[in-house]
Amino acid sequence: MVLGLRSAIGSDVGRRRTSNQDSGATTSRMLVVADGMGGHAHGEIASSVTVAALAELDARLPQDLVGVDLAAEMSGALVDATDRLGQWAAHDPDTRGMGTTVVTLLLSGEHLALAHIGDSRIYLLRDGVLTQMTHDHTMVQQLVDEGQITPEEALSHPRRSVLMRALSTDHPPEPDLDRIEIRAGDRFLLCSDGVTAVLDDDALLEHVGSGEPDDVVARLIETANERGGPDNITAVVADVVELEDEGPPRPTDPRLVGAAAEATTPG
């Protein structure tokens, strides 16, 4: 049995932002969401550069990933993204301090390699149960982990968006890395906090639990906007499916959304 991904992606500026600093990309085997840090200079550059570095990794890896150290490859791509941001900041000092979150999955056989920095999230829906596969790198999540506040208090905490970790020009990346065993019928959601800031786990399950990936992405964006759209909104929904081909899926050109779809390079 050969497993593949059938995915959909969408991004929207939301109701309160004037520009979209989110970026996203999907290919036949890679899924990426990056949320440029809105409180810093040029978050749209940071997110689009990071997505580009990961898409280039996907393109240069062999079709058959057996034996490839994907954790090392993904870490290397994030270091590459950090270096690119540093070069951009050297060219344009106004962009110093820009940063982004990133969540990404890369398919290899019956597993997905995962990399995560920040508070964008990955969820797995399996057998009707929605499980968060990432752990937010935020001040508020740290307070929850230490028992100083409850998860319910975290939802309305005034500093819930303060990141403890991000990919930026200021320091080397510190991603969480994981490997997820998958099976046909699994569904994954990758999203920026423009989704999770206004939809709790029950609402996410209601939306993600049924329908085709394209329809789910559209509903998530519509509902987030109906609930105020306080931030940029980006979502990827991907189903794990059985492929008729005998070999692993061939890499495809990325489908880009958000800032990545309008990316430029420093002149």
Over residues 23-55, the pLDDT tens digits come to 999 999 999 999 998 555 689 999 999 999 999
Query: Can you give the pTM of this predicted structure?
Result: 0.95
Selection from 195, 258, 199 nearest residue 221 by Cα? 195
On whether residue 7 sits in a domain, the answer given is: yes
Selection from 88, 43, 195, 27 nearest residue 35 by Cα? 43
Predicted pLDDT at 50: 98
Q: How far apart are CA 196 and CA 203, in angstroms?
A: 10
Q: How far apart are CA 190 and CA 76, in angstroms?
A: 21
For residues 188 and 4, the answer to whether their CB atoms sit within 8 Å is no
Structure token pair of residue 40? 């810093």
For residues 125 and 186, the answer to whether their CB atoms sit within 8 Å is yes
- The stretch 143-169 carries a mean pLDDT of 85
On whether residue 162 sits in a domain, the answer given is: yes
Question: What is the share, in percent, of the chain residues with pLDDT greater than 70?
Answer: 97
Structure token pair of residue 179? 């490997």
pLDDT band for 153, please (50, 70, 90 cuts): confident
For residues 251 and 28, the answer to whether their CB atoms sit within 8 Å is yes
Looking at every residue in the chain, the average pLDDT score rounds to 93
Per-residue pLDDT of 218-262, as tens digits, reads 999 999 999 999 999 999 999 999 998 778 888 899 999 999 998
Backbone torsions φ then ψ of 175, nearest 5 degrees: -80, 150
Range of the domain at 51: 2-260
On whether residue 112 sits in a domain, the answer given is: yes
pLDDT band for 172, please (50, 70, 90 cuts): very high
Query: At residue 20, what is the residue type?
Result: N
On whether residue 267 sits in a domain, the answer given is: no
On whether residue 266 sits in a domain, the answer given is: no
Predicted pLDDT at 150: 86
Q: How far apart are CA 267 and CA 161, in angstroms?
A: 32
CATH number of the domain within which 79 lies: 3.60.40.10
Q: For residue 266, is pLDDT > 60?
A: no
On whether residue 95 sits in a domain, the answer given is: yes
| Structural domain total, the chain | 1
On whether residue 150 sits in a domain, the answer given is: yes
On whether residue 78 sits in a domain, the answer given is: yes
